[in-house]
Amino acid sequence: MPTVQPPYFGAAYYPEDWHLEQIDRDIALMLEARMNCMRIGEFAWSSMEPTENEYRFDWLHTVVEKLGAAGIAVIMGTPTATPPAWLTERYPEVLAVSDSGKPMQHGARRHVCPTSPVYRDLCERIVDRMAREFGRDDRIVGWQIDNEVYPIGFRPTRPCCCPSCYQRFLQALEGKFGSIEALNQAWCLSLWSQEYQSFSQIPLPRADTWHHPSLLAAYSHFASDSYAEYCTHQARVLRRHVTQPIGTDMMPFSGVDYTDMHREMDMVQFNHYNDIDSLWRAGFWFDFIRPLKPAPFWNTETQANWNGSVCINGGVKPEGWCRANSWLPIVLGGEANLYWLWRQHWAGQELMHGAVVSSAGRPLPAFNEVQAIGEGLSRSGDLLRTTRPTPSGLGLFYCQYTARMLQHQPIMPGLDYEAALQERWWRPLTAGGRRPDVIGCDVDLSPYRVLAAPLLLTLEHEGLADRLHAWVRAGGTLIIGPLADIRNLEAAKYRDAPFGRLEEWTGARAVHCVPGSPGPQPVVGADGTPLAASTWFDGFDPGPCIVHAGYPSGPNAGLAAIVQAHVGAGTILWLGCMPEAAELPRVLALAVPDGTVGRTDCSAGVVAAPRSGPGGRGMAAVEVDGAPGYLTLPEPMTDLLTGRSLSGKVELEPYGVLVAQADQP
């Protein structure tokens, strides 16, 4: 087979659900749709191993061979999200247990426990056999471990509560604290007489009890670690035999830590679904997964048409929406976009989900857009393969450790960590033409000139505090708060001050820390102009700091609301309140002179990413709001999708796409 090069463009394909002779008809349609990659195998365990130790891979080899002969590459999935009935019947101990103590039943998916040693062994067996069969097949361009690994029932606050998880959780606590006395002290369990005399007395966090928040957070962290270990185990099994890159497709949730999950993966694979007016949110996740690994990420699932399961969700999208949705991951640094799914199911739980073609094999409404996307990816492939989005020097912290703590201590009614970051920070930044990396606590900070850290409850995760302080002292600009540095790793407050380190770093002192309920407190800038803010209000005695905003009245009257401290060669802008989205450019300008970070002149709905690399310089952009937009090119370029010569201000139609290459090397 000729080597299939990225960008990869295709869909999830389930040939096990159809007569084998239909493959040729499907492949003809795939080629008509301009596709070059199919994702297969992820749910097909019963077809690969119909009874224990009886393996059937002939049908799967046939599929791979036929796709390869047509010039279509394969992403091979391990089928461990859906064990066969013989497995759960013979080994019922592998079933996950709900927070009410009830084992899950066979059916659907994700109904097994990630810590079960029996299930780990059974997974190892099927994964090893698959790796031996397909690990050196050059028609396969990558491996996907399992599917959308996540705590049962999509309830990250209540993961599996089976005996295996419970025992491993107790062992993890004992390994961390060493003694029950140390745990009692760290969690302040003398309160309400909650002390334990042994680790065996620590309860499972079931749904019918008002559990200690440190226990709940610890169990959520444990569940995240368990799923990361579960996938790492499969990755290590695959590496015995495979030469292709390995990943696991994930959804935009915080129940499993993406950083931990991908430490031993080769690339990030990501699945997302959006409504008509929420497409912009997907950009937040692409900006988050792009910095996780050096290799470009793969967008392994999104919809071509509508969403659905047992009923339609979201409905028909307007013309051009599929185009924008499909190009968005490519614009932001991905090298694959695949739809779920190729052909609609003809039976089962997800009959109403849209696809590229219907269960009868007839093209669905977005088919023409799909064809045009495939053609555009082919025309621009050389530039996309040889360049990456140019780093802007701007980072926005998104800490999944903090997210799990907030699941059990939301602090304020309606405080949604991810929504606040997306709507109040990330979107105003990107609407101003800035392209931030959304980063976790373990990243190398040296590539960044400006870092924003709102709602970052703890600075202790991954040893961030010391690294962050050193980065500021070396010349970095940190914009931090509100509600940052207020918890330790045990989800507990500090006892000597409201903050762990910020008062020491800046010289400011918090006098009052006031919730923004039932309404906001008035905030006024140093120039006397009101500054709209909400959520939380810290009132500072500024000490040596510059005061940029204060409180004219209310419980914080006369105190500072925003202060700036020079720390070594750098600066910290400390926000005691959460600016409304419209105020963020004004706040950013207090600490970040224009030009400090990379910026593209573009309209608010245009996602623009300058590109650079061995293939030269270029610009990729997509309009995601369904309205006319524009961007200004930094130099003359050629549009690779149309062949037009472009310079200066370029108009984009609603959901329009631009991939341009600089005319000069």
pLDDT digits (tens, 9 = 90+) for 38-53: 999 999 999 999 999 9
Task: Give the CA distances from residue 345 to residues 147, 188, 245, 499, 563, in Å, rounded to whole numbers and listed in that order.
Answer: 18, 53, 29, 54, 57
Determine the pLDDT at residue 207.
79
User: How crowded is residue 362: how many other Cβ atoms within 10 Å of its Cβ?
Assistant: 11
Question: Cα–Cα distance between 113 and 437 in angstroms, integer?
Answer: 34
Determine the pLDDT at residue 154.
39
- Is omega for the bond preceding 415 within 30 degrees of 0, making it cis? no
**Contact indicator for 12, 356 with CB cutoff of 8 Å:** no
User: How crowded is residue 346: how many other Cβ atoms within 10 Å of its Cβ?
Assistant: 11
Question: Cα–Cα distance between 99 and 155 in angstroms, integer?
Answer: 10
**Contact indicator for 82, 17 with CB cutoff of 8 Å:** no
Sign of CA dihedral 545, 551, 557, 561: negative
Domains and CATH numbers, the chain: 8-153+222-385 (3.20.20.80), 394-591 (3.40.50.880), 606-662 (2.60.40.1180)
Structural Rg of the chain based on CA atoms: 26
pTM assigned to the model = 0.96
Helices (H), 456-591: 464-473, 502-506, 584-591
Retrieve residue 346's tokens.
């003809």
Question: Cα–Cα distance between 423 and 407 in angstroms, integer?
Answer: 19
Of 295, 534, 313, 528, nearest to 413 by C-alpha is: 534
Determine the pLDDT at residue 98.
87
List the beta bridge partners of residue 388: 612
User: How crowded is residue 278: how many other Cβ atoms within 10 Å of its Cβ?
Assistant: 12
Angle made by CA atoms 40, 283, 309, in degrees to the nearest 5? 45
**DSSP codes joined into one string, 317-379:** PPTTHHHHHHHHHHHTT-SEEEES-SB--SSSTTTT---SB-TTS-B-TTHHHHHHHHHHHHH
**Contact indicator for 284, 422 with CB cutoff of 8 Å:** yes
Question: Cα–Cα distance between 325 and 321 in angstroms, integer?
Answer: 6
**Contact indicator for 578, 420 with CB cutoff of 8 Å:** yes
Question: Cα–Cα distance between 500 and 497 in angstroms, integer?
Answer: 7
H-run or E-run covering 168: helix 163-177
Determine the pLDDT at residue 562.
98
Q: Which residues of the chain have pLDDT under 50?
A: 1-2, 154, 156
Question: Cα–Cα distance between 517 and 435 in angstroms, integer?
Answer: 33
CB contact set of 576 (below 8 Å; sequence gap of 6+): 481, 482, 510, 536, 537, 538, 539, 540, 560, 561, 562, 563
Determine the pLDDT at residue 1.
45
Phi, psi (degrees; rounded to nearest 5) at 159: -75, -175
